[in-house]
Amino acid sequence: MEEKRVPADTGIGTQKKIVIVLAAVAVILAAVLAYIWIQKSSLVNELNLEKEDLTAQMIALQNDYASLSSDYDSINLQLDSSREEVSQLIERIKKTDATNRAKIRQYEKELGTLRSIMRNYIVQIDSLNTLNMKLTADAAAARKEAAESRRQSEELSKTVEDLSGQVAVGSVIKGRGIVLEAYNASNKITDRSSRVVRLMTTLSLVENELAPKGPLRVYIRVKGPDGILLTNGTQRTFDFNGEPMICSASREVDYQGSEVELSIYLNDISEYVKGIYTVDVYTEQALLGSAELMLR
């Protein structure tokens, strides 16, 4: 029996078809890969734009915080803390890859939180300013009424007595601008612990016409980085709210109702170490405020 022979051109035709199919598949795969690459590039561009917009918003918020200030030390300390948070968040955003969407969303939430905190600061400052204006107006009105009542008949004497309690609240002497500084042997300001020979606390007693006139002693309590009170051979005690307290140093001034600037030195401390020193300033009636000093 004779074998059937397959024509040669039939095998060649089949190979051509396979090549064409493979070429078509390659073209389709290349097109798909190109599409995926374009989509990925587009997504990365969008994420980079999103990161740039978030960074711009954070910088704008940083500028808003920089322009915000108050006359109240407690709020200023909180503002400084929030400003530091904003600065750190900007640095974290810059170092984070735009494709890390979880981190970017987290930063967006933190941005919203910091914005909300800033709005609260604005409300607090406005409220305190309004309250301060009201208290000032009330104190002025009380003084005017008290002065007027002294010129009135006995019928108005009860009104004067009722106002005396309000006036007493406004008669407490207050302090501002408290600063703690270190000086070396050349009487120059220094922040090197090894060169400090004395500390100086400066402040102003605020003008208050309602306050008692005459000698007034101001006390300072300075604590080292370990929280221990610094004292020398001239230490003395004073009564504050009925409790005896040891002070680091003190000074007496003649207070006549006008603003008084004063300085109180702390000498003869054997050694200063690196760290944060704090000072609390008192009269026997009130805590006037606090300040800090960093020595290195």
245: domain CATH number is 2.60.40.10
Mean pLDDT value of segment 224-239: 90
- Give the model's pLDDT for residue 121: 79
pTM: 0.46
- Residue 63: count other Cβ atoms within 10 Å of its Cβ: 11
- Tell me if 284 sits within 8 A of 240, measured CB to CB: yes
d(CA 180, CA 277): 8
Domain annotation covers residue 145:
no
Domain annotation covers residue 2:
no
d(CA 189, CA 285): 31
Residue position matching structure tokens 């003649």: 254
For residue 109, pLDDT beyond 70: yes
- Give the phi and the psi of residue 283 in degrees, each rounded to 5: -115, 180
Domain annotation covers residue 147:
no
117 and 199 assigned to the same domain: no
5-33, pLDDT tens digit by residue? 555 556 677 888 888 878 777 778 777 77
Q: Which residues pair with 204 in a beta bridge?
A: 176, 261
Structural domain including 32 reads 12-124
Domain annotation covers residue 56:
yes
Percent over 70 (pLDDT), the chain:
85
Domain annotation covers residue 158:
no
120 and 209 assigned to the same domain: no
> What are the Cα distances from residue 155, in Å, to 143, 149, 152, 166?
18, 9, 8, 20
Please give the helix or strand (H or E) that residue 80 lies within, else none.
helix 73-95
109 and 210 assigned to the same domain: no
188 and 116 assigned to the same domain: no
Domain annotation covers residue 117:
yes
Domain annotation covers residue 152:
no
- Residue 110: count other Cβ atoms within 10 Å of its Cβ: 17
Q: How many CA atoms lie within 13 A of 86 on its CB side?
A: 27
Q: In what order do the strands lie in the sheet with 287-295?
A: 249-255, 214-223, 275-282, 287-295
Q: Which residues pair with 152 in a beta bridge?
A: none
116-151, pLDDT tens digit by residue? 887 887 777 877 778 778 887 887 887 888 788 778
194 and 113 assigned to the same domain: no
114 and 177 assigned to the same domain: no
178 and 289 assigned to the same domain: yes
Of 61, 89, 124, the domain-final residue: 124
Residue position matching structure tokens 């007034």: 216
Of 108, 124, 140, the domain-final residue: 124
For residue 102, pLDDT beyond 60: yes
Pick from 136, 131, 135, 140: nearest CA to 70:
131
Number of domains in the chain: 2
189 and 77 assigned to the same domain: no
117 and 189 assigned to the same domain: no
- Tell me if 132 sits within 8 A of 140, measured CB to CB: no
Total length of the chain: 296
96 and 197 assigned to the same domain: no
Of 124, 159, 181, the domain-final residue: 124
For residue 156, pLDDT beyond 70: no
Residue position matching structure tokens 């798909």: 32
The torsion angle over the Cα atoms of residues 152, 157, 159 and 160, rounded to 10 degrees, is 90
Domain annotation covers residue 7:
no
